[in-house]
Structure 1
Amino acid sequence: MWPTAFLICALSGLLAGCNTSTETSTLALPFYNTPDFTPVFLENSSEIEVKVPHRIRKFSFVNQNNETISEKAIEGKIHIANFFFTSCPSICPKMTNQMKKIQDSYRNNKDVVLLSYSVTPWIDTPERLKEYAQHKGVISGKWHLLTGAKGEIYDLARKSYFAEENIGYTKDSTQFLHTEHFLLVDKSKHIRGIYNGTLELEIQQLIKDIEILSTEK
């Protein structure tokens, strides 16, 4: 049976290309260009700059090790972002556990980085984030817990990551930011997926989608 199957594959490969790998098409995941998360599907990478101008913009915050982390930390890397606070009694502990699953799935992949931005930065100092990181098993260099000026974090969350379900950037920094969303961002800082960080099935899909992004050319 095996030689016959191989021969069929070889012959059909002359006509249509015989692909025995699991590699996906170049742009298998949609792009998200607006805060209403209308998916934009592209067939050719040459269309990206024209049809998907939105990217995660420049930023600069401090992580749990009191290190300055900027957009340079995600340059040429896939990253997953979420928004949390260490004193959150509701959804944040579950989201942190889910982020740890993602971290552990890609702990040896240097092209995957996790960013968790504190939405109570006036409470979540680097020292407090360090203690939280040690308690939750956060790997330094792989997963950054970030703090900084409240207005800058909220602005980045709403205007760059479109972090809330509603059109986030119509809100101002006086309105508390609390969202269960995880955002998947590609190596060029384009948003490629949004997931509910409290749901196991969506986290499993996110892990699969990271793998898909890693195959993009």
Structure 2
Amino acid sequence: MYRIVFLLLSSLLLVSCLNKKADTIDLPYYNEPDFTPIFLTNTSEMESKIKHTIADFSFLDQDSTLISQKKIEGKIHIANFIFTTCGSICPKMTTNLKIVNDSLKNHSDIVLLSYSVTPWIDTPSVLKKYKAKNKITNPNWHFLTGSKNDIYSLARKSYFAEEDIGFSKDSNEFLHTEHFILVDKTKRIRGIYNGTLELEMQQMLDDIKTLEKENN
């Protein structure tokens, strides 16, 4: 009798631990442009404590296909901000994001969004040539162009692309940032990385794996 009770209690504890593990959140959330991390103990706290999400958007990619928030709904995505005539940090950022891209080529639920900060220059055809030049074939890596005001507002207000320093800027001030931003399936920011540092790409890959487990 005691053995049966012991086994029942052990089973209940095991199930409880497994449920707790499944509900555990290992990556922080970010609500503000100062990127102060907010750690939650379980997913039930998310809706009440994490109010900031990426706003809806709609831009053309290199194939003149309309890419919107609805198009990537329920997917993890990585965002960065480049321009094709950039001779400083952008080539390095693209090279480093390719490292991430190559490691995720079998992950159809991961989307990469490279927004142009000179959309008046970077038309879809220019972006198509840029993607080809960099030997990028992943159909889930989109190079986006559109309204400058819309891109700059999304970058600064939604992605916190320049952190605190950029949050109060307007669209007349040029946007230039080395940051990669990791966004989860609920449109919430979960990571920020220096896109010029190859070492940080491995950290991003590790964090993506954590996110994938979190959402399973």
Among 90, 115, 139, the residue aligned to 2:88 = 90
Structure 2 residue matching 1:86: 3-state secondary structure: coil
- Amino acid paired to 2:93: M
Q: How many pairs does the alignment contain?
A: 202
1:27: Cα distance to partner? 1.0
Task: Give the alignment's Cα RMSD to 1 decimal.
Answer: 1.8
1:16: Cα distance to partner? 6.2
What's the counterpart of residue 70 of structure 1? 68
Q: Do the aligned residues in 1 keep the contact of 2:181 with 2:192 (CA within 8 Å)?
A: yes
Residues 3-23 of structure 1: CA distance to partner in whole angstroms, max 9, x if unpaired?
xxxxxxxxxx8696499xxx8
1:126: Cα distance to partner? 0.3
Alignment of 1:42-53 (within 5 A): 42-53=40-51
Q: State, as a whole percentage, how many aligned pairs show the same letter.
A: 60
Alignment of 1:60-209 (within 5 A): 60-209=58-207
Structure 2 residue matching 1:189: 3-state secondary structure: coil
Structure 2 residue matching 1:215: 3-state secondary structure: helix
- Amino acid paired to 2:78: I
Which of the pair is proportionally richer in helix?
2
Structure 1, 155-164 or 99-108: larger mean CA deviation = 99-108
Measure, in 1, the Cα distance between the counterparts of 2:40 and 2:137: 35
TM-score normalized by the length of structure 2: 0.88
- Amino acid paired to 1:59: F
Measure, in 2, the Cα distance between the counterparts of 1:38 and 1:183: 14
Which ranges in structure 2 are unaligned for 5 or more consecutive residues?
A: 1-9
* Structure-2 change in CA distance of 1:193 and 1:24 (3 Å): farther
